[in-house]
Amino acid sequence: MEPSPRNHTYWSFIDRVGENLADQNDIPVNVDATLLAMSLNRAAVAITHDFESKVHRPAGSSWAAYRVLFALWHSGATSASSLANITGMTRAAVSNISKPLEAKGLIAKAKDPEDGRGTLVELTPAGTNFVSSIFAQQNQLETVWAEKLTPVERTMLVELLRKLSAEV
């Protein structure tokens, strides 16, 4: 028996969307594209919520702040525009996130010696300690998510996502 609209799971809803869109004869519809976009968004929202609620909020931080700290941890001192590119955020978002991180003593800003107008952002020792301790928790949760797939599926998914976002 098909679930009523009140009792849909997300995936039964996706199936219904696919069926409904396939029945659209008056407008051209790429059903696969819609289902792919909805499914990617759902997965991103689910994993982000899990990380945020189980790791970052309990640590007094956020997923967005972690992304900035993690990027600095692996790139070293870098510009705000580079951080925006690495993290997939806007420069404004990086700036807004950087202010409380700087106030907490986790990052420091300095003039870019190669570009007098630019600013470099880098982790402080406290920031390095914080991000490395959070990473341990983050990676445990990442492992739970990753283990839902086989090693081959994980590699394939990373390559497919790289292909999808290559022009972004």
Rounded CA-CA distance 84/94 in Å is: 6
Under a CB-based contact definition with an 8 Å cutoff, are residues 112 and 81 in contact? no
Place of tokens 């029945």: 23
User: Quick one: which of 44, 46, 13, 15 has its CA closest to 31?
Assistant: 15
The per-residue pLDDT of the chain, averaged, comes to 91
pLDDT band at 2 (very low <50, low <70, confident <90, very high): low
Question: 84-127, pLDDT tens digit by residue?
Answer: 999 999 999 999 999 999 999 999 998 888 877 888 999 999 99
Per-residue pLDDT at 3:
53
Residue 47 phi, psi (nearest 5): -70, -40
Question: 120-156, pLDDT tens digit by residue?
Answer: 999 999 999 999 999 999 999 999 999 999 999 999 9
